[in-house]
Amino acid sequence: MSGDWGIRCEGLGRRFGAAEALRRVDLGVRRGSLVALVGSNGAGKTTLMKILATLLLPSEGRAEILGLDVASASMACRRAIGYAPAEERSFHGRLTVAQNLAFFADLRGVDPAVQRRRAPALLEAMGLDPAGRARFSDLSSGMKQSLSLVRALLHEPPVLLLDEPTRSLSPDLARRVGDLLRHEARSRGRTILLATHNLGEADAVADEVAVLHRGVLRVQGEPRALCAELGLPGASGAEA
Ligand code: ATP
């Protein structure tokens, strides 16, 4: 099932009691490409992201990251992933931005010297103080979201799983983040799955769009072709 795929799901299902959050999802993201996972509230985006991030087991089917079964949650698999969750709860409120990043870099086995070199540039690219002096608890929700992206990128993972990464950002910063992610995919070969409510954002940044509706992957394809197939006038600015 691996081959060219950075991310691959086959027949993936997840139940919570009687509720089926995902049903027989087949999804593929080629290495070095960016796929936007579009769906409205409750479509199953976060459930799919958590399974891929090794935080939740599927009820059925299989998912792979670079050919590694995510259900094994092996170190190689976890190291390959940079995950920015929709709701960030894992930073420490009383530590500074720089201290939080140093903590996570250490967990991921990033050399401290590399971390000190890489973190300021990433912080600046995300519109944050490159020195990371602010306490986490003093950051706005947009800044916290930006920091989550910095953390996801810090260990230079080949695969990024980003759950609504621009939801709390200003339109200008959201565009810059979109540009950065396109660069990370096209020039640096990262495989990116980005969940969003916003079809306009998906159209602007993604090579392909995958539409999830009530746990079912309805369609996956190039944004313009999808609009034509769905009978939409054009994706830009539209909400999913
Ligand atoms: P949103 O954009 O609102 O976050 P989503 O597309 O990410 O939505 P999920 O959060 O994956 O959707 O939820 C999919 C379905 O699974 C929803 O019906 C949700 O209520 C249900 N669900 C998710 N997690 C749980 C859980 N831990 N226990 C019970 N039901 C859950």
On the question of pLDDT at 33 being above 90, the answer is yes
Q: Tell me which residue has its CA closest to atom 20 in ligand 1.
A: 42
- Work out which ligand 1 atom sits closest to the CA atom of 212: 6
Distance 44 CA to ligand 1 centre (A): 6
Distance (Å) from CA 120 to ligand 1 centroid: 35
**Nearest one of 12, 229, 54 to 159, comparing CA atoms:** 54
Ligand 1 atom 29: residue of nearest CA: 16
Q: Which two tokens mark 36? A: 């936007």
Which atom number of ligand 1 is nearest to the Cα of residue 41? 3
Q: How far is the CA of 107 from the centre of ligand 1 (A)?
A: 28
Exposure string of 88-110, with b = 16+ CB inside 10 Å and e = fewer, is: eeebeeebbbbebbbebbeeeeb
Q: Please state the ipTM of this predicted complex.
A: 0.95
Whether pLDDT at 10 is above 90 = yes
**Which ligand 1 atom is at minimum distance from the Cα of 197?**
2
pLDDT of 80 over the 80 cut: yes
Predicted confidence at residue 205, as pLDDT, reads: 93
**Interval between CA 51 and ligand 1 midpoint (Å):** 12
Q: Please indicate whether residue 216, judged by its CB atom, sits closer than 6 Å to ligand 1.
A: no
pLDDT of residue 232: 61
What pLDDT is attached to residue 34?
A: 97
Tell me the pLDDT tens digit for each residue of 166-175: 998 999 999 9
Beta carbon of 55 within 6 Å of any ligand 1 atom: no
Cα–Cα distance measured from residue 218 to residue 209, given in angstroms and rounded to the nearest whole number: 11
The whole-number average pLDDT for the span 188-198 is 95
Q: For ligand 1, atom 3, which residue shows the shortest CA distance?
A: 41
Atom 30 in ligand 1: residue holding the nearest Cα:
16
0.90 exceeded by pTM: yes
Per-residue pLDDT at 237: 46
Q: Is 9 exposed, middle or buried (0-12, 13-18, 19+ CB in 10 A)?
A: buried
pLDDT category at 239 given cuts 50, 70, 90 is: very low
Tell me, using a 6 A CB cutoff, whether residue 39 lines ligand 1.
Answer: yes
Q: What's the rounded mean pLDDT across residues 136-163? A: 95
- Is the pLDDT at 207 greater than 50, yes or no? yes
Q: pLDDT by residue (tens digit) across 86-137? A: 987 889 999 999 999 999 999 888 888 888 889 999 999 999 999 999 999 9
Pairing of strands 191-196, 159-163: parallel
Whether residue 45 has its Cβ less than 6 Å from ligand 1:
yes
Interval between CA 42 and ligand 1 midpoint (Å): 5
Ligand 1 atom with minimal separation from the 163 CA: 7
**Helix intervals (H) in 161-221:** 171-186, 199-205
- Residue that wins the pLDDT comparison between 53 and 229: 53
